[in-house]
Amino acid sequence: MLIFDELQTRGHESLSLIQHPLTGLRAVLAVHSTVLGPAIAGVRLRQLDEEALVRSALDLSESLTFKSALAGLNYGGGACVIMPGDSDLLTSKTQPHAREALFRALGRELRPLSSRVILTEDIGVTPRDISFVAQETPGTLGQHTDTSRVTGYGVYRGMKAAAKYVLDSESLRGVRVAIYGLGAMGRELAEHLHREGARLIVADRRPAVMQELVEDFGATAMEPADILDAPCDIFAPCAEGGSISLAAVPRLQCRMIAGGEHHPLTRAGENAVREAGIVYVPDFAINSAGLIAAAHGCGKEEAAEQVYQTVSRICEVARHSAQPVHTVARLMAEQRISLIGSLGRRE
Ligand SMILES: NC(=O)c1ccc[n+]([C@@H]2O[C@H](COP(=O)([O-])OP(=O)(O)OC[C@H]3O[C@@H](n4cnc5c(N)ncnc54)[C@H](O)[C@@H]3O)[C@@H](O)[C@H]2O)c1
């Protein structure tokens, strides 16, 4: 990866490396934008090689910029991806404070940036971890909100708004939804879809989790490698990012992609999906309920209603302008950033 070219093309403000040898902390911090306010930075704990770690931070931070802008929040976008290093140590019973030490070290390292970077949970990180960070820096958000549940409900509501436009029916009864990734957010989405009578097809790399959904919701389980080929109406990526590679696009047999996963497709993938006649409701438009609830201190209904309204507005504009849904969503976010950014910094 040519890092500076990548930063310039995608408009990132900065990329930093953080390390704290005593606790084994090694992390990458990407700040995509602070035009609208301090960057909300999702904190991830993931076992990745160094290049994938950087890519994950660049992708997540870009999504968070657009998510905050579209949700009308006064935040920019960032991401902090931590390498677990000795991951056994983090769960070890003989070292019960290793996790606290790691996250407090992160907070301490980032405290000087607290007016520019606000940390919140993402994959592999819990509200408790963020509360450790909050011991060391005022720059945190979301440690008091169960964002996964709220986000899963918001994705469900956003899916309904988009179904009205794509499937000509807001009801998801009998609609076939393939969910890829059944973690905290994906499972919550599955529950709401099941309650409405959707037909679920599910895949996760953890077989026990799939089995639970087969038993509880009558879902059809598939191998993770095969679910991209599943005939369905809606494909819902809810795993760890990059679930739909460019090469995999021709395998999709859905009419719409709408899930909570950050960055399931690259820009080239978005174009390929459009050419295949599939509507893509982008991550940053549909997965914002948790962030909205944490930022406003509101409940899940209010936050999910905002997602519903936003997705409806995007689909309406897409219909009238004959542009793809994902293009309209990005333009709306970019317009707000550019307009508010043109006012200049507040004194
Ligand atoms: N949780 C939130 O509040 C929230 C908010 C907005 C966006 N998101 C995004 O939603 C996605 C999921 O978040 P989560 O909190 O549910 O995470 P999670 O870690 O709880 O769940 C991820 C699930 O995906 C499965 N998975 C990962 N890679 C897989 C693969 N290659 N094949 C099959 N299964 C795979 C894992 O086994 C796990 O069950 C992430 O991209 C996250 O950034 C989450």
At 58 the pLDDT is: 97
Q: What percent of the chain has pLDDT over 90?
A: 88
Binding residues, as ranges, are 181-186
- Asked whether 25 and 105 are in contact (CB, 8 A), the reply is yes
Fill in the amino acid letter for 33: S
User: 342: CA distance to ligand 1 center in Å?
Assistant: 36
User: 201: CA distance to ligand 1 center in Å?
Assistant: 16
Dihedral angle over CA of 95, 99, 103, 108, nearest 10? 0
- Which residue is closest in CA terms to ligand 1's atom 19? 123
At 258 the pLDDT is: 98
The 10s digit of each residue's pLDDT in 98-148 is 899 999 999 999 999 999 999 999 999 998 999 999 999 999 998 888 889
Three-point CA angle 207, 200, 245, nearest 5°: 70
What's the CATH class of domain 12-64+76-134? alpha beta
* ipTM (interface pTM): 0.98
Q: What percent of the chain has pLDDT over 70?
A: 96
Domain boundaries, the chain: 12-64+76-134, 147-335
147-335 falls under which CATH superfamily?
Answer: NAD(P)-binding Rossmann-like Domain (3.40.50.720)
User: 305: CA distance to ligand 1 center in Å?
Assistant: 23
pTM of the predicted model as reported, rounded to 2 decimal places = 0.95
At 67 the pLDDT is: 98
Q: Assess whether the C-beta atom of 185 lies below 6 angstroms from ligand 1.
A: yes
**330 pLDDT exceeds 90?**
yes
- Which residue is closest in CA terms to ligand 1's atom 43? 262
